[in-house]
Chains A and B, each alone.
Chain A
Amino acid sequence: MKYHTPATFEDAVGIAANATGVTRFLAGGTDVLVQLRADIVTPDDLIDVKHIPGVRDMTQNPDGSWTIGVAVAGAEMTENPALIADWPGVVEGMDLIGSTQVQGRATLTGNLCNGSPAGDAVPGMIAAGASVSVTGPDGSREVAVEDIPTGPGRTSLAKGEMVTAVHLPARGQNGGDAYLRFIPRTEMDIAVVGCAVNLRVDGDTITEARVALGAVAPTARLVEDAATALIGSKLDDAALEALAAAASAACNPIDDKRGTIEFRTHVAGVLAQRAAKIAYARARGEK
């Protein structure tokens, strides 16, 4: 295994594009090292992104949007009050990952690019309408977060391509988001179902919504029917019922000892309702 510490994204991409064997990027390493030590993936080239200037920065841009560097650890996000005020759901998804020690290292980008359908930070980013900058040998592009994962452990990134930043839109007025997951324990477990809701209100009425589910399909996914169930409503019982039905209908989960298909499908609806209530309260300033 060769360990690289490129000082620019161009150099990192160059190494990745010219590599002939297994390549991994190293952000927090909390997936890479576990896979390395279990002999699941031993990269021939390991490209540490943490020496590239700016990767540890969290910046609020003049238009209110956020740019989060690819090496920003979860613990740094949970210590940023302005980010929490804007995107509490995104931060709470990240904060659920692992222990304090894992939080000291794990990143949003690593969670996304690892490609686990159960990645806890991914539904929140999708619901927020987040995108990532992707750079490769043929140039750069902006990609919606929901278009990155293509299946368990797989992404749409081509050989030599890497994520160079995560972008969260400007929060704007009267918006709120939330993420909830179900696990059999209270901490340190992999989501059986995860759900993020992001919405905006005008008075009592929901005017915009995005709903994303994790761990119930081969990738985290945006559920448009669930958003449709919310938009135009005042989060009344009928809307909540339609929301749960749409969330459950979007499930195509695995069946295992941690959660049967029936259970995961049902819980997706329940979590969607609960997350929607929290997001709605946040949007109305009832924190």
Chain B
Amino acid sequence: MTQVHVTTTVNGDEVEFLADPRETLLDCLRDKVGMTGAKEGCGTGDCGACSVTLDGRLVCSCLVLGVEAEGKDIGTIEGMADGDDLHPLQAKFIEYAALQCGICTPGILVATEALLKKSPDPSEEEVRYWLAGNLCRCTGYDKIIRAVLDTARDLREGV
């Protein structure tokens, strides 16, 4: 199978890789770019563990082809912390123990960061619907929801 040369931007840095057109963006990120933060839970768009942003829009990277990333701007969990300084959502997830095994966590963090950019003061219902496509088998969701609402409050109040 002929490989296609793809040039794209990941977390602000230019990245190049060769992709078989059938390969997903998730596989390309993990196996070619070496960014293993996005996880594969299902590979069919159901679990959200592979969530990334594509030109600012939240998507499942398992449902995007690597070749579609040409010229795009991709955001992954690796771009969330500022060096050693965790993003407020990351810090709050640890404080609330909003993760156990952690498989769902990168996807949920990327998804909730996108939510708070769009909607800085979300209701609990809004957070729950926004995360309907992010499955977690460990936490029972409640800690995640509270961590997100609390982070949103902190960010609004400039804490």
Contact = CB atoms under 8 A, between A and B. Distances in A.
Interface in A4-54: 26, 29-30, 33-34, 36-38, 42, 46, 48, 50
Contacts of A73: 57
Contacts of B22: 1, 36, 42
Given A29-B64, A102-B60, A188 B132 contact: yes
A284 interface: no
A187 B130 CA distance: 10
A46 B22 CA distance: 10
Contacts of A101: 45, 48, 51, 58-60, 63, 111, 133
B41 to A, nearest CB: 12
B1 A187 contact: no
A260 interface: no
Nearest to B61: A101
Contacts of B115: 100
Given A34-B63, A101-B133, A105-B59, A188 B21 contact: no
A66 B60 CA distance: 29
A30 B59 CA distance: 10
Contacts, number: 81
The residue among A1, A48, A50, A99 with the most chain B CB atoms within 10 A of its own CB is A99
A2 B59 contact: no
Contact of B57 (A48, A104, A186, A187): A104
Contact of B133 (A29, A46, A75, A188): A188
B133 A30 contact: no
Interface residues of A, number: 27
A263 interface: no
B58 A38 contact: no
Contacts of B68: 26, 29, 48, 50
Contacts of A187: 129, 132
B45 A98 contact: yes
Contact of B59 (A26, A37, A104, A188): A104
Interface in B1-43: 1, 4, 21-22, 24, 43
Contacts of A186: 132
B80 interface: no
B98 interface: no
B44 A98 contact: no
A1 B4 CA distance: 12
Nearest to B70: A5
B43 A37 contact: yes
B61 to A, nearest CB: 9
A255 B67 CA distance: 40
Interface string B88-129: 000000000000000000000001001100000000000001
B147 interface: no
The residue among A48, A73, A102 with the most chain B CB atoms within 10 A of its own CB is A102
Interface string A96-118: 00111110110000000000000
Given A33-B63, A50-B68, 13 more contacts: A1-B22, A3-B21, A26-B68, A33-B62, A37-B43, A37-B44, A75-B57, A98-B133, A99-B45, A102-B133, A105-B59, A105-B63, A188-B46
